[in-house]
Amino acid sequence: MERYSWGGYPNTQQQLKQLSSITTPLPKESFLPYGLGRSYGDSCLNSEGVLLSSQPCDHFIFFDKETGVLTCEAGVNLKSIIQHCLPMGWFLPVTPGTQYVTVAGAIANDVHGKNHELAGSFGCYVKQFELVRSTGERLLCSPSDNSDYFYATIGGLGLTGFITQVTIQLKRINSHKLLVTSEKYQHLNDFFTLSENADDANEYQVAWLDCTATGSKLGRGHFISGRHQDDGDLILPERRGKSVPLTSPVSLINNLSVRCFNSLYYQRQLGQTKILEQSYEPFFYPLDAIENWNRLYGKQGFLQHQCVIPKNVGKEAIKEMLALIAKEKTGSFLVVLKMMGAKSSGGWLSFPMEGVTLAMDFPYQGKQTLDFLHRLDAIVSDAGGRLYPAKDANMLPSTFKAAYPKWEALEKMRDPQIASDFWRRVIQ
Amino acid sequence: MNILVIGANSAIAKAVARRYANPANAFYLVARNEEKLNKNAEDLKARGANQVEIKSADFAKAGIEPEVIESAKASLGRIDLVIMAHSILGDQAVFEKDLDALNQLYQVNTLSSLNLLTLLANEMEVQKQGNIVFIASVAADRGRPSNYAYGSSKAAVVTFLQGMRARLAKSNVHVMTVKPGFVESPMTEHIEGSGPLWSTPEKVAEIIQKGLVKRRNTLYTPWFWWGIMTIIKSIPECIFKKLNL
């Protein structure tokens, strides 16, 4: 069965329809705005209605080369923004780990990137958008006009209406390359020291960590920081990618492969510190090089778990989670840890907040996986943290409601025709 | 470079044009629906194209081809690259009953293409430079019960192009025939199906751009369709008759 979410769990029957243009009236039945289906769990699914794809609405409308302000339709993806704007010296002010998301999806999930600590989330760079309600009403939303709708829609999971066109501010760059420093560190404590002392000129900071290490090596990994080069070529180097052609019947990500990969990956860098130049694609989008990498998890699919924990208790909570993962021997193939800053887009249901965020993925192995994730959720909740709806397929309604107290305000602004499986699950 | 796109609202033509949208290139877009044309023109300009002009034209009307080419020349001056992608897919069941529909299919897909190509060939032969890309289909390779009307309307042009390619090669003009397989687009929206055989307009466009650089003659997009069609073409007629392809 075809998958409509990136994790492939839950894999329920979906019906996809296209919105043929931004002026086409919205359907009369229950629907959910749908982009490229890169949300991992059920926030991009609507089993009780249709998914309304924005793919035909993928036109640029206006780009001001002088100011870097871009107006485009909802279905434009980040890759095409980079491909056309980078040669003119402009880049995304905030980018998630894949280019294959639409601008409307980036707003609906208020996505963040490796520069969150300094730059905030995607929503911070949205100047305005048009929101169409199922009544046919067209609302131009910005921080000054229809501001309730503006802030409800940023991080609003597509529930407030169909975003048809958006205006965003890009940022100036002078080279397609970044200057990257990778430091190998021995223990989770070192990650916090490195983050604390990191040079703010390195706007992008992220750590990959080895989730199979325990004891004195708990949380060891690589701390990677980078910044755009000051000058160089504004070109798009060709990247040769690979593709996973078919979904494997069983997950290729298992204890053995996780253990091997994590150990090898940790050891790949011999020296303590490595400095290198990387083009933007391998730096920001390493996984985009393997098309359909999600198929490696097999037909059962997988679940992501991304949380953010307030700064003051972050270290302890992350330690507790890593210890639990190591103890249960349910390692995650890739574990990413980074600091988040205080700058906020103002989105009512935005995920980011000041603290530390941990992202992991686990193959779905039945109820035991879900139970295990609930144990992680409990650590997050106890620490006053929250989970990322775009990556969730499992959190309990109580967990969600406690972490996102503005959910009721959003429910009031929700378009009555729009719903998602995620929303039905967490507000019940 | 000056680029003429005929059938500019088609998904593949749009994706190809976007790949060339940079300050070095000017466009002349021709298609039927003016509203969509305007949108696509704005799109290419915002993506960096130097100049974009449009012309609304319906190739179901016979005899409009000379005027289209003249106005393209007036806008662009010299034409360096032509992308021809205007086409009707239609429904085989309708073509079996409705002669008007069948004639219209041939008017749009075949006759207008041959007229446009003839005019362009003469133009480019004189300027001794240029590229012509024609979007045909794998359906042109063998008449199958499910879509032989459409397939044959493309096959005539494919054969025409073979000769034209050899003629124009002597004048340094390159003619490339593109045969896409299943492509997800508004034209195929009603066809159920997805999977490894399906491609996207963006991928097809990338292959076309690379194929032009290498001056490929006939391009199956993606390449494995060459294998599939070789097998389909090699099935003996006595067996083929019994199949429902």
What does the DSSP 8-state code read for residue A253?
Answer: -
A88 touches chain B (CB under 8 A): yes
Q: Which residue of B has its CA nearest to A88?
A: B48
Per the document, the length of chain B is 245
Binary contact (A56, B42; C-beta < 8 A) = no
At residue A265, the pLDDT reads 77
Distance separating alpha carbons of residues A88 and A82, to the nearest angstrom: 10
Binary contact (B42, A84; C-beta < 8 A) = no
β partners of residue A16? A51
Binary contact (A87, B48; C-beta < 8 A) = yes
Of the options 3.40.50.720, 3.40.50.300, 3.90.1300.10, 3.20.20.70, the CATH number for the domain spanning B2-240: 3.40.50.720
pLDDT at B188 over 80: no
3-class DSSP string for A83-111: HHHHHHCEECCCCCCCCCCEHHHHHHCCC
Average pLDDT over residues B33-60: 97
The reply to whether A379 falls in a domain is: yes
The tens digit of pLDDT for each residue in A78-95 reads 999 999 999 999 999 999
Average pLDDT over chain B, rounded to an integer = 93
At residue A343, the pLDDT reads 97
Q: Report ipTM (2 d.p.).
A: 0.86
- Taking the CB of residue A49, how many other CB atoms lie within 10 A of it? 19
Distance separating alpha carbons of residues A401 and A404, to the nearest angstrom: 5
Q: How many domains does chain A have?
A: 1
Given pLDDT bands bounded at 50, 70 and 90, which one contains residue A242?
Answer: confident
Give the CATH number, domain containing residue A344: 3.40.462.20
3-class DSSP string for chain B: CEEEEECCCCHHHHHHHHHCCCCCCEEEEEECCHHHHHHHHHHHHHCCCCEEEEEECCCCCCCCHHHHHHHHHHHHCCCCEEEECCCCCCCHHHHCCCHHHHHHHHHHHHHHHHHHHHHHHHHHHHHCCEEEEEECCHHHCCCCCCCHHHHHHHHHHHHHHHHHHHHHHCCCEEEEEEEECCECCHHHCCCCCCCCCCECHHHHHHHHHHHHHCCCCEEEECCHHHHHHHHHHHCCHHHHCCCCC
The tens digit of pLDDT for each residue in A354-386 reads 999 999 999 999 999 999 999 999 999 999 999
pLDDT at A239 over 60: yes
Average pLDDT over chain A, rounded to an integer = 94
Q: What is the largest CA-CA distance in chain B?
A: 55
Measure Cα distances from A400 to A373, A375, A389, A396, B225 in Å. 14, 15, 9, 6, 48
Measure Cα distances from A159 to A149, A251, A409, B157 in Å. 11, 33, 12, 49
At residue A260, the pLDDT reads 79
The reply to whether A110 falls in a domain is: no
At residue B193, the pLDDT reads 56
At residue B191, the pLDDT reads 60
Nearest to A51 by CA among A112, A7, A3: A3
What does the DSSP 8-state code read for residue A418?
Answer: B
The tens digit of pLDDT for each residue in B203-240 reads 999 999 999 999 999 999 888 888 888 888 889 988 88
Binary contact (A87, B194; C-beta < 8 A) = no
User: Residues of B at the A interface (Cβ-Cβ below 8 Å)?
Assistant: 18, 21-22, 36, 39-40, 42-43, 46-48, 186, 189, 194, 196
pLDDT at A332 over 60: yes
Radius of gyration of chain B (CA): 18
At residue A229, the pLDDT reads 96
The tens digit of pLDDT for each residue in B3-12 reads 999 999 999 9
| Inter-chain Cβ pairs, chain A and chain B, closer than 8 A | 39
The reply to whether A64 falls in a domain is: no
At residue B190, the pLDDT reads 61
The reply to whether A426 falls in a domain is: no
The reply to whether A149 falls in a domain is: no
- What residues in A contact B39, CB-CB < 8 Å? 21, 59
Helix %, strand %, coil % of chain A (to 5): 30, 25, 45
At residue B175, the pLDDT reads 98
Nearest to B46 among A20, A61, A246 (CB): A61
The reply to whether A356 falls in a domain is: yes
Question: Measured on CA atoms in the order A264, A268, A272, A275, is the torsion positive or negative?
Answer: negative
Nearest to A84 among B21, B36, B194 (CB): B21
pLDDT at A213 over 90: no
Taking only residues 240 to 259 of chain A, the set having a beta carbon closer than 8 angstroms to any beta carbon of chain B reads: 245-246
The reply to whether A99 falls in a domain is: no
Residue A275 parent element (H or E): strand A273-279
3-state class of A324 per DSSP? helix
- What residues in A contact B186, CB-CB < 8 Å? 18, 20, 56
Q: Which residue of A has its CA nearest to B200?
A: A55
Which domain does A317 fall in, by range? 177-230+246-398
Binary contact (A59, B40; C-beta < 8 A) = yes
A239 touches chain B (CB under 8 A): no
Q: Which of A14, A60, A61 to probe the B interface (max B CBs under 10 A)?
A: A60
The reply to whether A393 falls in a domain is: yes
Least confident range from A245-259, A382-396, A405-419: namely A245-259
First to last CA, chain B: 42
Binary contact (A59, B189; C-beta < 8 A) = no
Amino acid identity for residue B115 in this structure: N
Binary contact (A59, B21; C-beta < 8 A) = no
Q: Which residue of B has its CA nearest to A21?
A: B36
